[in-house]
Amino acid sequence: MSTAHFGWAWIRVALLKLVAVLLFLGTLGSPVITAHAQSGPRPEEAAGKVRVEVMVVHATHSGRVDPRLRNLQRQLDHTRYTGFEVISTSSDSLSPGQLSVVSVAGGRKVKIRLIERNNQQARVRIELYKGNEKKLDTTVSIPRNRTFLVAGPKFEGGVLIFPITVTY
């Protein structure tokens, strides 16, 4: 064989090795598909369920902030209050159309109904009652795994705030 033939063979082998290395390196950053990922969504995801958490927060001018509210501090800073204390927390797993009722301070109740959800957000209807009188009736879209604040009624020198968090 001629010397030129061996030169091309060497280049071809080197190129094949280079392509193999590049293909291998290209898969390093790719996600690995596991058997769990192939088994489909969890039952609550398949059913469109959303975990809804309602906190009842007493906002005042005390300057003290409940440590449980650290992750909401930036949102709370937009209010005219400086002190925030968690009075209660309630959570429920809701399917579309399902209702959760939370009793809160001062003979009030908050009703939350999941209307629908998609991969980005959940639409919920929020109703606030004092006794049998409806004080608020609104529908909001809350981004997935985020919190929406509802500023509520006056209460003991401050106001009640209802952070509503949806997770799924």
Mean pLDDT confidence for 60-86: 96
Structure tokens at 104: 């809160």
Q: How far apart are CA 124 and CA 95, in angstroms?
A: 11
Asked whether residue 37 is assigned to any structural domain, the reply reads no
Shared-domain flag, residues 73 and 23: no
Query: pLDDT band at 161, cuts 50/70/90?
Result: very high
Query: pLDDT band at 7, cuts 50/70/90?
Result: low
Shared-domain flag, residues 14 and 95: no
Asked whether residue 92 is assigned to any structural domain, the reply reads yes
> How much is the pLDDT for 45?
54
Shared-domain flag, residues 8 and 63: no
- The answer, yes or no, to whether residue 53 has pLDDT greater than 50, is yes
Asked whether residue 35 is assigned to any structural domain, the reply reads no
Asked whether residue 65 is assigned to any structural domain, the reply reads yes
Shared-domain flag, residues 73 and 150: yes
Asked whether residue 104 is assigned to any structural domain, the reply reads yes
Q: What is the pLDDT of residues 114-157, one digit of tens each?
A: 999 999 999 999 999 999 999 999 999 999 999 999 998 999 99
Domain that holds residue 99: 43-167
Asked whether residue 80 is assigned to any structural domain, the reply reads yes
Query: pLDDT band at 27, cuts 50/70/90?
Result: very low
Mean pLDDT confidence for 66-91: 96
Query: pLDDT band at 31, cuts 50/70/90?
Result: very low
Q: What is the pTM (predicted TM-score) of this model?
A: 0.71
Tally of structural domains, the chain: 2
